[in-house]
Structure 1
Amino acid sequence: MKKENQHTEFKESWHDEYVRYVSAFCNADGGTLYIGIDDNGKIVGVEQSQKLIEKLPNFIAQKTGITPLIKLHEADGMEYISIELQPSSMPISVHGRYYIRSGSVTSELQGNQLNMFLSAKMGLTWESVVEESFTADEIDLETVERFKVLAKDRVPSIEGETDMPVLMERLNLLVGGRFKRAAIVLFGKNVQKYVLQARIKIGKFLSDTEVLTTDIVEGNLIQQVDRTLDILRTKYLLSYISYEGIHRREKLIYPYEALREALLNAIIHREYFVSSEIQIRVYDDKLVIGNEARLQDITVEDLSRSHPSRPYNKLIADVFYKAGFIESWGRGTQQIIDKCLAEGLLAPVYEYKMGFLYLTFSHERINERINERINERINELTEIELKVYDLICLDPHVRQSDLAIRLALTEQYVRKIVKQLKDKGAIERVGARKNGYWNVKFEK
């Protein structure tokens, strides 16, 4: 027998409470519950198998509404039972409780997890649910007008649309005259009245536990993009000043476009069911953007390479696409990395921990890391090795006999030092003995 996994559960005997495994398998990808097998997959047999075979179909159907395929097996002179369960398109409960299977663990769904599960099973997402109490008077018309200007390149006809409800219907944000939640967070005047967590928290951190200052960015999502970037630029991040002729140029320590793309990704892919905000933590040497999100059939490693575009909030993503904020090809995460590398920064790192997706920008530049490593290697040289190395750096064509004269050493000893430098990877000889030269492998 195999070990317990996403699709397999072993029990030595039947207890009526085990009907929760039926709910869990049906609410996930299906699976098989075995009775008469221990946790190690060893067949131990089941007592009164015929009686149990007769009881289980009706019992499970009464408790869950599911009629599973139940079979009696025999091996090594012992009988055991398999209860095969298919995934259900409808949520399956036991006494009003819903269970789910994740790996070899069965757990009860509660709170936001339960809300998300039920909505998904009913074909609804958080953003597509209608908010009964929200009215047209609560739409921010200035944001609507700004969106129309932004969207004119991708949807030219939108700019001339003067009827706001018609525009909302075209964006699939209105159904039967009622606004979906996506309309509220995208265009609402007072978004946080309905969705308090739809905001962004920015903090300047001296350490992981010590916060120097905090800002909370509210408003609708379209407003939040500009407001957040303005606060980061003017209050939290340093800029490099340079001049091109008489023109003053100011560059953030992290590429502006990379930060903007990362912020847009967080807004589009976050889970609005949960109570946490998007968090931006600014340290002296790094910047971390974190949001509670679900990876849609991809791994965190896929984010650093080409991958399909699967936005979790499709309505919000569609409005952002029409406004020209994002592309629809799943290249945003790669572009963030490319823009950082183009500025000489180390590639940002994606991590997924405890349901949160984190993106960490490093202030360290690639050449700084290289110089640091070079300095470490130079520091490994002895005093006499360093003297020989310095002379070779000054004159790569210098002969070992000349080195001996300059350092008042014997040629035999200099040849020994040169060999040590070669063994440490500090230098290499290029060309013939007479016409060649020394290639310095790491500069000071």
Structure 2
Amino acid sequence: MNGKGIENLIEKGEGQDLEFKSMFTNDIGNGVCAFANTNDGTILVGVDNKGAIAGVSKKVEEQIANIIDSCDPPVRAAIETGIVDEKNILVVKVKKSRQVHSWKGKIYVRVGSTNRPLSMQEILELGQKLGKIRFDEQICEEASLDDIDWDFIKSEFIPVYETVSEKKVVGNPGELLESLFCIRDKKPTNAGVLLFGKNPQKFFINSYVALARYKGVVEDIERLDYKEFTGNLFQQIDNCDEYIKERTATMSRLLPYQVQRQDIPEYGLFSIRELITNAACHRDYFNQHSKVIIKMFSDRVEFYNPGGLPAGVTPKNITEKQFSRNSIIAKVLAKVRYIEELGEGWNKIIDEHKKHPLRPEFPKIKADDYSVLITLFSTKEKFKKKIAIHINERQRKAMTYIEKHGRITNKEYLDINKGITARTALNDLNDLLKKNLIVGRGEKKGRYYELQ
């Protein structure tokens, strides 16, 4: 760095991303780790805390490099040399890291112009936030193998597991749970207790789903109903899903080409189950002061989940990022198809909303460092409007043809509607696409259409 650049930094003064050191001392390691743990930062060695130029020997560069390499784990940083007032200044540029770094057994963070060591509680919280300490991986010291519901595993979990995996379980149920990391060192892990425990709430008091149902659009003093879904995670998900769907309104409509009526639920049924499962799977179980809360109103359902979104995941990019706070729980749920193993759940929620005949508003996501709130919006108001889908006789023939043959091409459309032009056929098919009655597959000459 040239002298002018260093002078500009000195003029800026010490702060959140800049520190001065008049000489080499070992506590430069504090600053290196603090910046790596907090934000990009620069240390000027050879400048005192008042901004006066002290200068350092060029030999100091090697000593600073040793400190950088001695951080645990080593920090990514660059050292540059500059000259101000004919004196050597070393410029140490540190990049924010995704890891947690310590110096001489302490973890530092940058707070203003100081490097502050973290308390033990803060270290645990930082490890949890970065996913270095996972709740579900820990052994549940208070529990024993007698607290596992072996009857549930044998009669309900293993049959589904074998059906989905298309192979028989080799060995006994205990060995299966060990392979799923639900048992370690002959003790249940937290994941094992939550997934297969006889009474998980005995060990984690708020590990259940609370649901309140209201008559209108605001929280009233009097609720229509209040339920607590306890038991293991499979039971919570299934029972809560069943409860909500039993109270989800449904309308019926008769499409012009069908004999049977089409039932249309006010909410996407996949979306309901996926959001319940996501809440149970991805909540912050370290926080036992709160629980998963679902609120049903006349115009929406709200899903409240303790634990904010991780670094890099936002409400805008949640469909693109894959994340699991509790990876063992997620993997076990995926083994029996309670969640999407490839992280496709949110894409399917959006797709379900796009294909819903009543075009509901897309889910709304609000998140902070401590919680996530997702809202599904009802289409019940649209039930009151008469939904008329008009199609012409040519289109009616095409819909009947697709029902019989599974698909139709442009050429086949022309064959069953003699005397029309290719332009008319294309217009008819595009109209059916707009009315969400068919879906197009393939490109150009190979293009065909199926029922939506």
Q: TM-score range by the shorter chain?
A: 0.5 to 0.7
- Alpha-carbon separation, structure 1, partners of 2:112 and 2:267: 39
Deviation at 1:369, TM superposition (A): 12
| Equivalence for 2:294 | 280
Q: How does 1:313-328 map to 2 (within 5 A)?
A: 313-328=326-341
Does 1:301 pair with 2:307?
no
Q: In structure 1, the residue corresponding to 2:376 is in which secondary structure?
A: strand
**TM-score, normalised on structure 1?**
0.63
Q: 1:50 aligns with which of 47, 52, 56?
A: 56
The CA deviation string for residues 210-251 of structure 1, in whole angstroms up to 9 with x for no partner, is 5544433222111110122233345xx442365999999976
The residue aligned with 2:242 is 230
Query: Is the contact made by 1:25 and 1:31 (CA closer than 8 Å) also made in structure 2?
Result: yes
What code does the residue aligned with 1:231 have? Answer: Y
Output the CA distance in 2 between the equivalents of 1:88 and 1:356.
22
Pairing 1:22–2:28 present: no
Q: Give the structure 1 partner of residue 102 of structure 2.
A: 92
Q: Is the 8 A contact 2:17 2:35 kept in 1?
A: no
Which residue is 2:249 aligned to? 239
**Matched residue SS, 1:329:** coil
Please name the residue that 1:362 is paired with: 377
- Aligned residue in 1 for 2:178: 169
Q: Deviation at 1:288?
A: 1.5
| Superposition deviation, residue 148 in structure 1 | 1.4
Once residues 131 and 364 of structure 2 are traced to their aligned partners in structure 1, the CA distance between those partners, rounded to angstroms, is 36
SS in structure 1 of the partner of residue 228 of structure 2? strand
Q: Which residue type is aligned with residue 179 of structure 1?
A: P
> SS where residue 301 of structure 1 aligns?
coil
Determine if the alignment matches structure 1 residue 151 to structure 2 residue 161: yes
Shift of 1:318: 1.3
- Percent identity reads 19
Larger Rg: 1
Contact 2:230 2:236 in 1 (8 A): yes
CA gap 1:156/1:246 in 2 versus in 1, 3 angstroms: same
RMSD over aligned CA atoms reads 4.9
Cα distance per residue 1:364-421 (max 9 Å; x no partner): 47968999xxxxxxxxxxxxxxxxxxxxxxxxxxxxxxxxxxxxxxxxxxxxxxxxxx
1:43-442 to structure 2, matched below 5 A, reads: 45-50=51-56, 73-75=82-84, 80-85=89-94, 87=97, 91-92=101-102, 96=106, 98-100=107-109, 114-118=123-127, 124-144=133-153, 145-158=155-168, 160=169, 163-204=172-213, 210=220, 212-213=222-223, 214-234=226-246, 237-240=247-250, 242=252, 252-275=265-288, 276-291=290-305, 292-295=307-310, 297-304=312-319, 307=320, 309-341=322-354, 342-344=356-358, 345-364=360-379
Q: Using the TM superposition, give the Cα deviation of residue 21 of structure 1 relative to its aligned residue in structure 2, in angstroms.
A: 3.8
1:101/1:107 contact within 8 Å kept: yes
Contact 2:43/2:92 (CA < 8 Å) preserved in 1?
yes
**Residues 113 and 259 (structure 1 numbering): CA distance in 2 closer, same or farther, change over 3 Å?**
farther
> Contact 2:57/2:88 (CA < 8 Å) preserved in 1?
no
CA pair 318-88 structure 1, distance change in 2 beyond 3 A:
closer
Contact preservation (8 Å) 1:303, 1:350: no
What amino acid is aligned across from residue 300 of structure 2 in structure 1?
K
2:43 paired residue among 17, 33, 36: 33
Q: Deviations over 1:44-85 (max 9, x none)?
A: 843434399979959979x97789876653347787543344
Question: In structure 2, what residue type is equivalent to 1:349?
Answer: K
Count of matched residue pairs: 358
Q: Measure the CA separation in 1 of the matches of 2:122 and 2:264.
A: 42
Cα distance between partner residues in 1 of 2:220 and 2:57: 64
Q: Give a deviation string over 1:81-101, Cα, whole Å, max 9, x none.
A: 4334475966416785x3446
- Give the secondary structure class of the aligned counterpart of 2:302: strand
Superposition deviation, residue 334 in structure 1: 1.9
Report the more deviating stretch, 357-366 or 175-184.
357-366
Shift of 1:332: 0.8
Cα shift at 1:138:
0.6
Q: 1:365 to 1:105 in 2, by over 3 A?
A: farther
Does structure 1 conserve the Cα–Cα contact (< 8 Å) formed by 2:47 and 2:54?
no
Partner amino acid, structure 2, of 1:199:
Y
DSSP 3-state at the match of 1:351: strand
- Per the TM alignment, residue 128 of structure 1 is displaced from its structure 2 partner at its CA by 1.2
- For structure 1, the 5+ residue unaligned runs are 372-444
SS in 1 for 2:17: strand
- In structure 2, stretches of 5+ residues that fail to align are 387-452
